[in-house]
Structure 1
Amino acid sequence: MKRKIFTPRPDWQIEHHNIGFDYFNLPSADGSIYWSEGMAYEFTLQQIEQLEDAANELHQMCLHVVGDLILRGNYPDYFQLPNAAIPHIEQSWRENSAMLYGRFDFAYNGSQIKMLEYNADTPTGLLEASVAQWLWIEQVSGIANRDQFNSIHEDLIKRWKTILPRGSHLHFAACQEAGREDWGNLEYLMDTAYQANLQVSELSMENIGWDGNNFVDLKQRPIQNLFKLYPWEWIFEEAFAAHLSPRTQWIEPCWKMLLSNKAILVELWKRYPQHPLLLETHAFDPQQQPRTGKWVKKPILAREGANIHLLENGQDMGAASGSFYFDDYDKSGYVVQKWVDTPLFAGQLPTLGLWMVGHHCAGLSIREDCYDIIGNDAHFAAHYFVE
């Protein structure tokens, strides 16, 4: 794995705007912007195959854990699941309700892979991972025998066709006050569904109504199928939860609550101790004997690197660099995960995102930053591999 510098493409900003990637220039803490145009990470084909195999193996391990939890009806307290959610989790699993996509975050040094977490419910960064970096590799010059691990766009279209019959109406929703990144991802997913011959429409979660029998949109049309870029745990804090029924198919399905919760990392370690792809992870208990060595304390329900602290030999060393604090993410408990070093490239620490579409890995994306934690304003970097 190498970090390479390239000449920026002519009119690359226009290229981004043309595909709806109009948030490429969101500001970063170091004074630059979200998209890193003049650089990319280079891999070998063997490394790409290693990463792909790891993501597929981890996904199957996760599904096994979820299936086992549901079969036994045993949900450890550290998942902090709302009681009202459990019947819906179990029903959606038993009905084999289809998932669309997810993203693993990996630490990688060119040979050793360690899973950091699984963004299984509301991952973003999809448009840049699928279309924007593919355009980059098509247009950049000076790389012989290049390719990119990226079939995300085509695989999303194929996946929609397996989830819903041709011509089905699918609503897409996100929080009204969500940023441009969330709405850009939502609109991109709408486009892939449209290319899969589905009828699509968009609304905010706040504008979903209830007519006494069905969820409805602003035109009072029943919402039969809903993709929501909105966390399940928020749904169970709101009025939606009282009206959940089989009349609406939710994407992602409710069983994804178990995968998107960082407590799944604890269960993975219990079932696969010392697995080479896993980092040792335990539920955080402030009364427990301090653990030796370096650890990170992560909230079980959080996004964009929030509320992460470093622990050394049981001492809280404070917030990890790049993390921030948000009250809501402090409510549901924490896990502690063994620290893993990642290689430094020109002052940047990369985290690899491995994208699952359905049950197969479909591509790779990279976020990098000078901080320990990849937060909301970290940089997106394209990648390629050479044979």
Structure 2
Amino acid sequence: MSADWRDLLNREIFPFVEYEGYDDKYPTKNIELIHPELAEELRYVSGVLFGAFQRAVAVCQKCGDNFLEDLEIPPQLIPYLQKDNPLHLASWLSRFDYVVDKQGNFHMVEINADTPCAVIEAYYGNMVACTHLGVEDPNYGEYDKLCSWLNEIFLASEPGVSISTGRFHRRHPFLFSCFHDYQEDYATTKFLMNAMKKNALATEVDDAITFVSFYDLAVWRDGSILLPDGRTANAIYRLHPLEILIEERTPEGETLGKDFMDGYLHDKFMMFNPPEAIIMQSKAFQALVWALNNQPAGTAQVFTAEESAVISRYMLPSYFARDFDQRNIAAGSSWIKKPIWGREGAGIEVLDRDGVRFGKDVDTEDIVRRDSRDSMYQLFVDQQPYEADTDSGRLTGYKTLSCFMLGKNPSALYARFSPDQIAGTEAYWLPLGLT
């Protein structure tokens, strides 16, 4: 038996166990054991919050551009956010993130609704850790559910079937795409593609489900996605943030992002995640949810009683910059100031009555992100310390718990460990087991 469970991780599936530029392996040596009741609570809360977020997205779609502009949705994206999608869900694969306070309570701090990563860790790596260490896997069975869900997405793309053979035709494949030279994105994209192929209904599709790098794609004159072999895609999974994609141009200056989105609008292909996932992705969306849940008495309520109770208990007070009262700081509370399009902790500051308590010093050179005009404010959680075993020894830091969503259904759990309260690119993956 291997002395280090991390040696058992298949580098073909999980090539970023060792990451260039980092001395330590990405996974921690230890595994965190959680109670089944906590796993159940995380999934329950995530399911209820997703339902509430769906309602809030519908409010944004019905109430005109002002709501979307408040969320700093790029104006050029707004025309594409009213279109319904085949699954009638704003996000088909998403991930809620939670922090744990010093009393052991967890609080939702973010939803990754557009391009969530950590899929390999949750749906593959966690199983390897639990099997080797002889503990129960909280994600047991979730990979099969992922495969089934992806097969539903495949079938929703209306693949054609050959009358003569009964097989799915290959002229318009389901396309998986990312920039192949970014290791984590490439591995994640391939993992999801292979999971879609796993289901029995997809055993005969062969190259009806295929990968092509973003570098090798083109948008045809009618808006179709053109593959190098001359085929056009009937659906695309794209691991590239939509707020960045919309502004992409070719080296010749052509509006590649807009042309791509026009093709989607005119039903040339289906998109996974759908564009409206960007509404949830905006950091300011939580400020909108908080405001909708705290409307004056007598105002029509957006959320169910159950959703409202979960929002009040598990979300944090969150405000648009214009609505934030600086007296909250003077009263002794600490607040996080987040750029609306921040990623990997970049630009985040923690504010208290003495000014900036601390900020996140992040090298943003390699982080793909959109510049933000404004910030949102969220109550700061003083987190419960946690110790993890790494290649650099035992470190003290903080853990973040996460729950993936397959559409509206809670799924695999995931955790990461960071030496800092604001996790960034230096965070470790922390496997989870059940006590």
TM-score (norm 1): 0.88
Provide the C-alpha distance between the structure 2 equivalents of 1:294 and 1:320, rounded to a whole number of angstroms.
15
Structure 1: stretches of 5+ with no match in the other structure: 1-7
Residue 154 of structure 1 and its aligned partner are, at CA, apart by 1.3
Provide the C-alpha distance between the structure 2 equivalents of 1:49 and 1:95, rounded to a whole number of angstroms.
26
Structure with more strand by fraction: 1
Match 2:381 to one of 340, 358, 381: 340
Q: Secondary structure at the match of 1:250?
A: strand
8 Å contact kept, 1:305–1:324: no
1:222 aligned partner, one-letter code: T
Alignment-derived partner of residue 315 in structure 1: 355
Residue 89 of structure 1 and its aligned partner are, at CA, apart by 0.9
TM-score (norm 2): 0.79
8 Å contact kept, 1:92–1:254: no
8 Å contact kept, 1:354–1:361: yes
Match 1:262 to one of 271, 283, 286: 283
Matched, 1:83 2:104: no
Write out aligned runs for 1:134-149 (5 A): 134-141=127-134, 143=135, 146-149=136-139
Alignment-derived partner of residue 204 in structure 1: 213
Residue 286 of structure 1 and its aligned partner are, at CA, apart by 11
Identity of aligned residues (%): 19
Residue 126 of structure 1 and its aligned partner are, at CA, apart by 0.7
Structure 2: stretches of 5+ with no match in the other structure: 160-167, 249-255, 295-310, 388-395
Matched, 1:353 2:343: no
Alignment-derived partner of residue 416 in structure 2: 367
Alignment-derived partner of residue 3 in structure 1: none
Residue 153 of structure 1 and its aligned partner are, at CA, apart by 1.5
Matched, 1:220 2:230: yes
Aligned residues: 372
8 Å contact kept, 1:105–1:353: yes
Residue 373 of structure 1 and its aligned partner are, at CA, apart by 1.6
Residue 340 of structure 1 and its aligned partner are, at CA, apart by 0.6
Alignment-derived partner of residue 97 in structure 2: 105
Alignment-derived partner of residue 163 in structure 1: 153
1:185 aligned partner, one-letter code: T
Residue 182 of structure 1 and its aligned partner are, at CA, apart by 1.2
Write out aligned runs for 1:6-155 (5 A): 9-10=2-3, 12-17=5-10, 20-26=13-19, 31-37=23-29, 39-73=30-64, 74-92=66-84, 96=88, 99-109=91-101, 111-141=104-134, 143=135, 146-155=136-145
8 Å contact kept, 1:282–1:337: yes
Distance 1:209 1:310, change over 3 A: same
8 Å contact kept, 1:93–1:255: no
Provide the C-alpha distance between the structure 1 equivalents of 2:180 and 2:322, rounded to a whole number of angstroms.
36
Provide the C-alpha distance between the structure 1 equivalents of 2:345 and 2:374, rounded to a whole number of angstroms.
15
Q: Secondary structure at the match of 2:282?
A: coil
Alpha-carbon deviations, 1:129-160, whole Å to 9, x = none? 1111112111214x5xx342354321221112
Residue 330 of structure 1 and its aligned partner are, at CA, apart by 3.5
Q: Secondary structure at the match of 1:121?
A: coil
Match 2:196 to one of 193, 198, 201: 193
Q: Secondary structure at the match of 2:57?
A: helix
RMSD: 2.6
Provide the C-alpha distance between the structure 2 equivalents of 1:220 and 1:295, rounded to a whole number of angstroms.
53
Matched, 1:384 2:424: no
Q: Secondary structure at the match of 2:421?
A: coil
Match 1:284 to one of 321, 327, 337: 321
